[in-house]
Each structure stands twice: as structure tokens, then as C-alpha cells.
Amino acid sequence: MNMNIEKPAFAVVGHPNKGKSSIVAALAQNDAIEISSRSGTTKNAESLDITLGDAGYTLIDTPGFQRPTAALSWLQEHAESADQRLSAVREFVQSEACRKSFPDEVALLEPIMRGAAILYVVDGSRPYNPDYEAEMEILRWTGKPSMALINPIESHAYIDVWQQALGQYFKVVRVFNPMLADRLRRDEILEAFAVIAPQWRAEINRVRALYSEQELEQQQQSTQLLAELLLQLSNYQLSQQTLSKMQAEALKPVLEKRYRAEMAAIENAAHRRLKEIYAYYHLDSEIDELPLEGELFDTEKWVIWGLDRKRLALTAGLTGAGAGALVDASLAGSSFMLGALGAGILAGAGAWLSADQIANFRISGLPLGGYEARQGPIKNTNFAFVVAGRFLSLLDALRDRTHAQRETAQLRPTDLASRLDALDERDRNALIKSLTRVSRVTSIEQFARELAPLITSD
């Protein structure tokens, strides 16, 4: 057995069902870790290596204490004085008999005896009671660096009480809610790791720096992904050659259907890729039904989204210039506003692509005879706004959650209009121009640069 852990390693221990696995999932950004309201979910100690660039640390998820009082009695029988306590614990984890009668205690103490520091987790919404003292006492006997985390599972009701009790056993006590996406809090926890285990300070500080870099990288990758998605969807077309014009006409519903399905699949794949950028591999997302469904061109409804006339007029001018072909300013405005809703078209994947409104179906005669039926590319100037809005909705949801949350992500509409408003005027105009006519975009790098502020601004 490897008796020494050289990389920073922390064993997350505590009572069953207090959020140990949730804390590991949130810190490790791993949505595969088993979390459930059933007590005793984690059966064995699970080691997770968290690697960021060239630095990293290990978290060990463990089963909860099941028989701490009996285990402590065993230990007390095997140590007469304080100097014998560590060997008593060692004997405990090595004893076959203990492995049988205290499987959970042995499993959770083993990594600590191999050198992992201790993260003791309690629930700040439940009252303190002395039953926990046997657990804390056992942990103290290991003599390993330790800190306590209070997880406010349902409320903060007993945090003060816990702080007092934990302060007797642990030098460092922090409150940490694994369900809240809070980068500052996460960083504070890592900082505390370095305080309790100074031998790992340099490595932990590296990890902290790399967590911030990771965030920038995720933003860059998301921006690039959005640029590619917009270009791909906006230019997408399908065609098929036929002998007669009638055959070509008959293809219209077939091509439209395929077109819709393929466009939706492309978007879906990009959304899946976006989840992967943020290390979500098991996350379902759901797009809310919005009241706009079926009334996408009903300007009355825009008020719901807080879009005022002034902005409407402003963007109308811009979009009119960009799109050229639009009939009049008010229509241009409405057309843009529809896009500005972005998520206004969040309703089901089928609904946002009503092919008639969005793409061209054309039949052309071929020079050497025969005909070609063609569906696409997109002609609707809202289209890119809609796609961007949907993408940003998912991005917001991903940034607002942690890997400890297991429920389906419910996407809310993005206020694309105010995100655009927040940009400086030149950036905004350039971006609106590109989004209005994605087919004219010639440089993906340039396009990604224009999109970047939408993604970096929170």
C-alpha cells in the first residue's frame, strides 16, 4: 500500500447524507458522481484526480460514518494514552475484524491514514448534537491536517451553533454550499486547503490560478463554437436534382422536413458540445415554452420582454441598413425585435424553424436539362439572433449551476437586447451587422471576436 500521498489530497468525510459527494462533485466538476437523497449512497472510498493543466489535487469521496461511537470505543480500548492513538487508528484500519464490523469507518479512515487531509462535512440546517463528537474525536486521533465545511443544505439555521462546536475540533471552519455556483467561495475553500496543509501550498495556488484560466478558455471555446454554429446553420442548404419540374415541386415538403431536422440536429450537437466544454456529460436541458409560441410576429407580445419603442426604433434603423431587403422600418424593427428576444423562439425545436418564414425553397432549371429543388439557406434576418439567444440561454444555465445539481436545466430566455445594449456602440453595430447577414461573414476569427463580448459579459 502506498503510505504517502504527495499530491494534495483531501478525504471528504462526515455523517451519511450530508452532501459529501455533492461537495466532491462541485469541486471536481464531475457530474457522474453518485448523489442521492438516500442515506448511504457512497459505499466505497472513491478517489478523484482533479487535473488542471500541469497542476492538480485529489478528492476522496467516502461513505459516511455508520457506527462512530462503537468505533471510538474500540479505539479507546486500544490506546491508553495520547501517544498511542495514531497507532490505534492504524491498527483499526488494518484489522480484518474491524473491516468486517466497521466497513464504512475503515473505508473512510484508510485514505486519511495514507496521507490525505480531512474535510469534515456537516449540515448547517440541522441542530448540533453530541453524537457527532465521536466522529470528530476519531478524526482528531489521526492527527492529520483537517478543516470543517458546513453545508447549509436547507437553511443557515444552525450555522452559529455548528461553528462553535466545530471550532473545538478544527482550526478552520468554512460554510460551503455545493449547489451554488460561486467561484469566489470555491477559491476560498482552496485557499483554506493551503492553510491547513502548507506543504501543498504551492501546488494549491497553482490550481487556483488554473481554475481562473480554465474559465477564460471555456469562454474562448464557447465563442468559437457559437461562431461556427451560426455560420453552419445560416449557410445550410439541401438540394436534389429531378427530371421534371413537377418532381421538383413534389420535393418541397420532403426537403423542408429534412432541412428542419438537420438544422435542429446541428444545433443540438453544438449545445451538447457546449455542455462538454463546461464538463457536463450527463445533463439534460429543457427549453421552456414561451407565450410567444405561434405568435412570433405579434409585436404586442414584445412588451413582455421589456423592449421599449425607443430601442425598437433604434434597432429598426440598424437592421434595415444591414438587411437591405426589408420592407419598411417598422417591419425591420419588429423583425429585429423578434431576434432580440432570441429565446423568444425557445419554444420546441420544431417551432423556431417554420421553414416558410425562414428559408427559401427554390426550383431552378439546370443547363443540361432537368431541375434542382433547393431548400435553404436562411433568408430570415432574425435567425442568427435566435440561434445566438438559444445558445446564450444554455450557456447562462451552465454557468449558474454546479456539477452537484442533477436536475434538468430549465433554460430561460436570454435578454439579448440588453446584452447588446451593454456593448460599446461600434462593437454593437458591427455585431448586429454580422448577425443580420451571417452569410456575408468572411472571417470566422473576426466574427468570433465580435461575438466574444456577448459571452464574456455576465
Ligand X SMILES: Nc1nc2c(ncn2[C@@H]2O[C@H](COP(=O)(O)OP(=O)(O)OP(=O)(O)O)[C@@H](O)[C@H]2O)c(=O)[nH]1
Site residues (CB under 6 A) for ligand X?
A: 16-22, 35-37, 39-42, 63-64, 151, 153, 177-179
Pairing of the two strands 238-242 and 371-378 = antiparallel
Exposure string of 83-121, with b = 16+ CB inside 10 Å and e = fewer, is eebeebbeebbeeeebeeebebbbbbbbbbbbbbbbbbb
- CB of 26 vs ligand X, minimal distance in Å: 9
Footprint (CB under 5 A) of Mg ion, residues 19-58: 20-21, 41-42
- CB of 33 vs ligand X, minimal distance in Å: 8
Partner whose footprint covers residue 402, from ligand X, Mg ion, none (CB < 5 to 8 Å by kind): none
- CB of 61 vs Mg ion, minimal distance in Å: 6
- Residues 138 and 75: beta-carbon distance below 8 Å: yes
The 113-132 site mask, x for binding Mg ion (CB under 5 A), equals --------------------
283's CB contacts (< 8 A; 6+ apart) are 31, 275, 398, 408, 409
Question: What's the rounded Cα separation, in Å, for the pair 300 and 259?
Answer: 30
Q: Rounded to the nearest 5 degrees, what angle is found at the Cα of 250, between the Cα atoms of 247 and 254?
A: 120
Question: What's the rounded Cα separation, in Å, for the pair 414 and 421?
Answer: 13
Question: What's the rounded Cα separation, in Å, for the pair 97 and 76?
Answer: 16
- CB of 43 vs ligand X, minimal distance in Å: 8
In the bound state with ligand X, the residue whose beta carbon lies nearer, of 138 and 343, is 138
In the bound state with ligand X, the residue whose beta carbon lies nearer, of 14 and 333, is 14
Rounded to a whole number, what is the distance in angstroms from the first to the last CA of the chain?
48
In the bound state with ligand X, the residue whose beta carbon lies nearer, of 23 and 233, is 23
Q: What is the DSSP letter of 151?
A: E
In one-letter notation, the amino acid at residue 240 is Q
- Residues 5 and 58: beta-carbon distance below 8 Å: yes
- CB of 38 vs Mg ion, minimal distance in Å: 10
Stretch of residues binding Mg ion (CB under 5 A), selected from 15-23, 370-378, 422-430, 444-452:
15-23
In the bound state with ligand X, the residue whose beta carbon lies nearer, of 16 and 115, is 16
Question: What's the rounded Cα separation, in Å, for the pair 267 and 276?
Answer: 14
- CB of 16 vs ligand X, minimal distance in Å: 4
Partner whose footprint covers residue 64, from ligand X, Mg ion, none (CB < 5 to 8 Å by kind): ligand X
- Residues 8 and 203: beta-carbon distance below 8 Å: yes
The 352-381 site mask, x for binding Mg ion (CB under 5 A), equals ------------------------------
- CB of 41 vs Mg ion, minimal distance in Å: 5
Partner whose footprint covers residue 127, from Mg ion, ligand X, none (CB < 5 to 8 Å by kind): none
Set of cell numbers at residue 443: 472571417
Partner whose footprint covers residue 177, from Mg ion, ligand X, none (CB < 5 to 8 Å by kind): ligand X
In the bound state with ligand X, the residue whose beta carbon lies nearer, of 13 and 93, is 13
In the bound state with ligand X, the residue whose beta carbon lies nearer, of 334 and 402, is 402
Binding residues for Mg ion, rule CB under 5 A, total 4
Partner whose footprint covers residue 17, from ligand X, Mg ion, none (CB < 5 to 8 Å by kind): ligand X
In the bound state with ligand X, the residue whose beta carbon lies nearer, of 63 and 322, is 63
Question: What's the rounded Cα separation, in Å, for the pair 233 and 383?
Answer: 9
In the bound state with ligand X, the residue whose beta carbon lies nearer, of 153 and 314, is 153
Question: What's the rounded Cα separation, in Å, for the pair 238 and 360?
Answer: 10
- Residues 336 and 385: beta-carbon distance below 8 Å: yes
